Amino acid sequence: MLYLGLDSSTQSLTAVVVEIDGNERRVVLETSVNFDEALPHYGTRNGVLPDSDPAVGIAPPMMWAEALDVMMGRLAKAIDVGTIAAISGSAQQHGSVYLNATATQVFSALDPAQPLVDQLRGTFSRATSPIWMDSTTTEECREITAAVGGEHQLARHTGSRAFERFTGSQIRRFFKHDRIGYEATDRIHLVSSFAASLLAGRHAPLEPGDASGMNLMDLAAREWWRPAVDATAPGLMSKLPAIVEPWTCVGTLSPYWQMRHGFPAAQVIAWTGDNPSSLIGVGLAREGRVAISLGTSDTMFGPMTEPHVDDSGTGHVFGAPTGAYMGLTCFQNGSLAREQIRAAQGMTWSGFSHVLASTPPGNNGRIMLPWFAPEITPPVSVPSVHRYGPASDGASEVRAVIEAQQMSMALHSRWMARTVDVIHATGGAAVNREILQVMADVFGAHVLQLRVGNSAALGAAMRAAHAHLREHHRSVDWDDVVAGLAEPLAGSRVDPNPDRHALYREMMPVYAACEAHALGRGPDPRELVDRFARCSVRL
C-alpha cells in the first residue's frame, strides 16, 4: 500500500510517498514545488507577498491551491498512484483562508477539464491569507486577552497566551478592518483544512493539533472555547470548521483528482500543522526527547503527556497527532536570518560551514541578536540586529548568528524540557553538520539527523498510514508506524564536546544579559561581555 503525505509550508509544497507492506517500509518518492520558482505569477518572495511593512506577512491562497494541482500532476507522472490508500497533509500553522458561501458548491463540483484555480477564483471573501509571519495584531491580542479575563486564563484554556500570528487575533483584525469581507465569509479555514477541503471536495474539519494554534480551542475539551470565540468576532462560531480526532477520514479524494490526474478514491485524512506533523516525522511519539526543526522558522518541540502550559508565556502547548500533547517554542528568524548572513558575506553554504568550523566557540565574546525580521521569541516587533563585544571581522558573523540561534533556543525552551539529552534535528539546515555541532555543544546533548529531511511531509504520510491501518486493527501502536521510516541517519550522531559545552554554559547568562539589554529590559552588559571575551580564548 502507498501513503501520500503533503506539506504546504511557507516556501514550498512537498510530497513524500511511503510504501508499507507488513514489516517492509520504504520511502518511494520525495519531491517539492517551490512557490517562487514554479509559480512566479503570484509574485511571492520566499512564499510571502512583499510588503513595505515588515510586520505584514500575507500570501495568496490561490497559490497554495495551484501548487496542489501541479504537485498531483507531477506525482501521477512519477509513480503509479493507483495503489495510494490514504492521503494526509500538514501546512504552515496559523494562516487562515476566508471563503464565501459559493465555496461549498464549487468544491463539490470541480470540473476535471478545467484547472483548479480557474474554478476557485470567485470563492474567496479575502484575496490574501495572513500567515504565521504576520505580527500586525498586537492591539487585537490585547483586546481578546482582556475580554477573556487575562493572559493566564487564555493560556490555561487554549495552550498559549495571545500571539499576533495566532488565527484568533488575525480574524479579529479582519473583522475590524473589513466588516463587509467578514460578513461575506461563510467559512474560515486554516491552510491545512483548506487543502484537505480541496482534496475531499467538501469543507474539511480541523483536528486539535492545528486548531490549538488559533487561541480559540479549549485544549482539554478539544472543542471551541466559547469565551475566546465570542471575544474574537461576532458570529464567528458558525464560520469555524468542526474539530475532529486527528485520525479522522474527512472524505475520499474527489472526482476532480481522480479524473484529472488518475488518482484512486483514496481516503483523505484530516490535515494538521507542520509542527505536529513533524513530531511524528521525527519519530517522537513519546515523551523523553525533543526535536529542533531548522526551517523558515526554527522550532523546538517535544511530546507531552499532560498539557502543562508555559508560565513564562513564551511557548505553546498544541494537540499532538497521537491524541496527547506537544510543547513548542517558535523562532521567526530561522533560515532567512542564516541566509542574510551567508549572502552578506558572499559565501556558498559550504563556505559558510567551513567558516563555522574554523571560528572559535564563544566567538571571542562577539554576541549577536539576529532579529532581521520581527521576532516571536523573544517578542520583537521592529526588526533590529544588535551586536556586542569586539567588532565583527566578517567570518565571526557566521558563528554569531548560529550561536545566537542555538543559545536563544536553549534559553527559551527551558519551560518545556529542563534537561535535554538527545535532540532529533530536522529541516533544511539540519544537513549542515557544523550547525548541528554548535547545537550539540550549546545544549550538551547528542544530536541525531533524520534520514528523511522533510519531516512534516513524512509525518503526514505516516499519519495517513496510521489512520488507514486503524480501520482494520483496533489499536495501532505509533512506535510500529514510525519504525523504519522516521529513523536517524546511520552514523549521523553529533556528540557534544564537554569543554565547549562548559564554555557555552558560561556564555548563556552573558547572552541573556545582551538579549535583555537589546529588548530595553536590562543594564548595559559590556562588562560581562568583556569578562567572557577574556576567558573564552581558552578554546
- Residues contributing to the site for ligand XUL (CB under 6 A): 9-10, 92-94, 132, 165, 213, 273-275, 297, 299, 330
State the virtual CA torsion across 60, 334, 315, 443 in degrees, nearest 10: 160
Cβ atoms < 10 Å from Cβ of 419: 8
Confirm if 267 and 255 have CB atoms less than 8 A apart: no
Quote the least distance from Cβ 61 to ligand XUL, whole Å: 15
Query: 267 vs 293, which CB is nearer to ligand XUL?
Result: 293
Close Cβ partners of 246 (under 8 Å, ≥ 6 residues apart): 207, 208, 209, 270, 272, 276, 319, 320, 321, 322, 323, 463
What does the DSSP assignment read for 311-366? TTS--EEEE-TTSSEEEEEEESSSHHHHHHHHHHTT--HHHHHHHHHHSPTTGGG-
Quote the least distance from Cβ 512 to ligand XUL, whole Å: 23
Confirm if 263 and 257 have CB atoms less than 8 A apart: yes
DSSP type of residue 114:
S
Confirm if 222 and 208 have CB atoms less than 8 A apart: yes
Quote the least distance from Cβ 87 to ligand XUL, whole Å: 20
Quote the least distance from Cβ 15 to ligand XUL, whole Å: 17
Query: 274 vs 515, which CB is nearer to ligand XUL?
Result: 274
How many Cα atoms are found within 13 Å in the side-chain-facing hemisphere of 416? 31
* Residue 270 Cα to chain centre, angstroms: 17
Query: 201 vs 374, which CB is nearer to ligand XUL?
Result: 374
Query: 92 vs 396, which CB is nearer to ligand XUL?
Result: 92
Query: 256 vs 318, which CB is nearer to ligand XUL?
Result: 318
Quote the least distance from Cβ 510 to ligand XUL, whole Å: 28
Query: 191 vs 369, which CB is nearer to ligand XUL?
Result: 191
Confirm if 58 and 129 have CB atoms less than 8 A apart: yes
Quote the least distance from Cβ 518 to ligand XUL, whole Å: 22
Phi-psi category of residue 313: left, alpha or beta, with phi > 0 → left and psi -120 to 50 → alpha: left
DSSP type of residue 121:
G
Query: 14 vs 100, which CB is nearer to ligand XUL?
Result: 14
Query: 275 vs 454, which CB is nearer to ligand XUL?
Result: 275
Quote the least distance from Cβ 165 to ligand XUL, whole Å: 6
* Residue 322 Cα to chain centre, angstroms: 18
Query: 178 vs 339, which CB is nearer to ligand XUL?
Result: 339
Quote the least distance from Cβ 97 to ligand XUL, whole Å: 15
Phi, psi of 403 (to 5 degrees): -65, -40
Quote the least distance from Cβ 37 to ligand XUL, whole Å: 19
Quote the least distance from Cβ 160 to ligand XUL, whole Å: 9
Query: 125 vs 296, which CB is nearer to ligand XUL?
Result: 296
Query: 136 vs 275, which CB is nearer to ligand XUL?
Result: 275
Which residues sit opposite 423 in a β-bridge?
290, 447
Query: 115 vs 378, which CB is nearer to ligand XUL?
Result: 378
What does the DSSP assignment read for 414-426? TTT-S---EEEEE
Q: Look-up: residue for cell 559558510? A: 352
What does the DSSP assignment read for 231-287? HH-TT-GGGSPPB--TT-EEEE--HHHHHHH-----EEE--EEHHHHHHHHTT--ST
Could you give the CA distance from residue 149 to residue 142 in angstroms, rounded to a whole number? 11
Could you give the CA distance from residue 269 to residue 264 in angstroms, rounded to a whole number? 15
Confirm if 140 and 167 have CB atoms less than 8 A apart: no
Nearest to 416 by CA among 512, 330, 519: 330
Quote the least distance from Cβ 332 to ligand XUL, whole Å: 8
Confirm if 419 and 505 have CB atoms less than 8 A apart: no
Quote the least distance from Cβ 63 to ligand XUL, whole Å: 15
